[in-house]
Amino acid sequence: MTRPVIGIATQTLEAVPGKLPLCWVMGQRYVRVLTAAGAVPWLVPLLPDDEPTLRSIYDRLDGIFLTGGVDVDPANYGEERHEMCDRADPARDWAEIHLVRWALADHKPILGVCRGIQVINVACGGSLYQHVSEQHPDAIKHDYFPTVTEYTRDYLAHRVRVEAGSRLGRLLGAAEVDVNSMHHQGIKRLGGGLRPCAVAPDGLIEGVESANGTYLVAVQWHPEELAEAIAPQRRLFTDFTEAAGAYHAQAHT
């Protein structure tokens, strides 16, 4: 079977005057986990001044993978910026929201992690808690950001309850799983066409999928950091790659 091509939007690296020009970057872990699953990753530039080129790239993709990264600009869901909302990347927001909406319209497979679940929710008309610890009732700690002295990116911070019968539940094979947690924002108002399929102990939505059966799976944790050691987490990527392969086969028959 032809290896499916998966688009991964990059993130803006600001210029350092006199040393470094404006750049687009993306973590290698995301690329490698997709490659290991049999996909061909395609790093997508951010082109808010050139929608036709972004669309031309999109048309060559078999699936969209939305990764972790900086906070989504609250202007995208009609809210004023909270004082704890970190820096945003408007060009990345623009590109990813377009990619999600195009993929939803075409039933092209989508997988999202961490920021990815948040962008998907915003693209579907939902909103976010800009700082979970202050805005979500009874919030547990979610922001286990790694430092030199504590936590690691694969640190299992808390459990999530997974809906039986959901695609995510079938992939993970358990009603509850331990996950890592490196975020301070999360889903507040659920976007249209999405249904929750995993929740944290405080009720924060940690997993969503499409309500109409098309392939969309997104989680709030970072399964790419767990995939090598934990087979059920790895299945998120292999299943997504298989779905993208099936989309490619159908689109080219």
Q: Choose, from 222, 225, 242, 248, the residue flagged as catalytic.
A: 222
Cα–Cα dist 237/233, whole Å? 8
Task: Report the distance separating Cα 105 and Cα 143, nearest Å.
Answer: 33
Which of 206, 209, 224, 242 is an active site residue? 224
75 in helix, strand or coil?
A: helix
CA angle 85, 117, 185 (to 5 degrees): 25
Give the active site residue among 85, 96, 98, 114.
114
Q: Is 134 a catalytic residue?
A: no
Q: How far apart are alpha carbons 4 and 29 in whole angstroms?
A: 18
Separation CA 240–CA 61 (nearest Å):
13
CB 150 within 8 A of CB 104: no
User: Catalytic: 114?
Assistant: yes
224 is catalytic: yes
* 3 three-state secondary structure: coil
Task: At 220, list the tokens.
Answer: 């709030």
First to last CA, the chain: 13
Would you please indicate which residues are annotated as catalytic (active-site) residues?
114, 222, 224
